[in-house]
Amino acid sequence: MISQPGSAMVVGVGPERGLGAALAMCFADKGLHVFMIGRSEEKLNNIVQRIQEMGKSATAIVADITVEQDVAKCFSILRERADVMQVAAYNVDSNIPSPFLQTDVTTFTTLWQQNCLGAFLFAKEIVAIMQAQQQGTVFFTGATGSLRAKPPFTAFASAKAGLRALAQGLAREFSPLGVHVVHTVIDGVIDGDRARNQFPEYVKAKGPEGLLQLEAIAQTYWAIHQQPRCAWTHELDLRPFKEPF
């Protein structure tokens, strides 16, 4: 935990009702300038407008986090502000259901690039900044597949397991240097635009409080960021109270 003022970064900001947007608005509400990275300029600008309506500030950067040159551009813009980087989140959650024998190399590689390689490129930059500061929190958003593979999501789980291993290695290497590295297992369906548009009947069947609420997840991220150094959490799982596990 570090004191304000400062900045935050959220990679993987898409729909207005999505976790990336919820994290960006949460961090902005705490007084941080938020750098938001995504592939849709329109979606990013919508969130910037909402943050500005809150009387807060944000910067939208259109980039592909799996491309090294795009990552360098993002962090060049970030460094121009010369803020303390308080908290950052890698929130890319690309998923393609595919039975194993029908999974081609392109699908497997794409999932690995988005869920794992992008996190590596992001981590190289953000951890270097936080190490120099000797402070800061970096989150990597995982999924149920981070812990167990289940068809037809074997390729996705392979990538998320790689993300978890990356986070664990970073935590062990950089915690003694003051960088708080956290991997979160989102074990359940998030109540956002994606779920409501793609499988509305499932959302309805889960009933009240059967889905993870965006603001509740964001509040948990912020609470973890606020932890004293003597009692850091490096991995946690979040699920609705009625979700089987």
**Confidence band for 194, pLDDT divided at 50, 70 and 90:** confident
Q: What percent of the chain has pLDDT over 70?
A: 98
Model pTM?
A: 0.95
The count of C-alpha atoms lying within 13 angstroms of the C-alpha of 135, restricted to the half-sphere facing its C-beta, is 17
**Confidence band for 4, pLDDT divided at 50, 70 and 90:** low
Enclosing H/E stretch for 192? none
Q: How far is CA 79 from CA 126, 186, 204, in A?
A: 11, 31, 44
**Confidence band for 1, pLDDT divided at 50, 70 and 90:** very low
Q: How many CB atoms lie within 10 A of CB 133?
A: 16
- The sheet carrying 85-90 orders its strands as 58-62, 33-38, 7-11, 85-90, 137-143, 180-186, 235-238
pLDDT reported for residue 2: 45
Query: Any bridge partners for residue 180, and if so which?
Result: 137
pLDDT reported for residue 93: 82
**Confidence band for 132, pLDDT divided at 50, 70 and 90:** very high
**Confidence band for 233, pLDDT divided at 50, 70 and 90:** very high
d(CA 85, CA 2) in angstroms, rounded, equals 9
Could you give the domains of the chain?
A: 7-238 (3.40.50.720)
Please, are residues 113 and 68 in contact by the beta-carbon 8 Å criterion? Answer: no
Q: Mean pLDDT score of the chain, rounded to an integer?
A: 95
Query: Which stretches of the chain are assigned E, i.e. beta strand?
Result: 7-11, 33-38, 58-62, 85-90, 137-143, 180-186, 235-238
pLDDT reported for residue 5: 77
Minimal CA–CA distance to 122: which of 80, 63, 168?
63
Which of 7-11, 58-62, 80-84, 227-231 shows the lowest per-residue confidence on average (mean pLDDT)? 80-84
- Judging by DSSP bridges, how do beta strands 137-143 and 33-38 pair with one another? unpaired
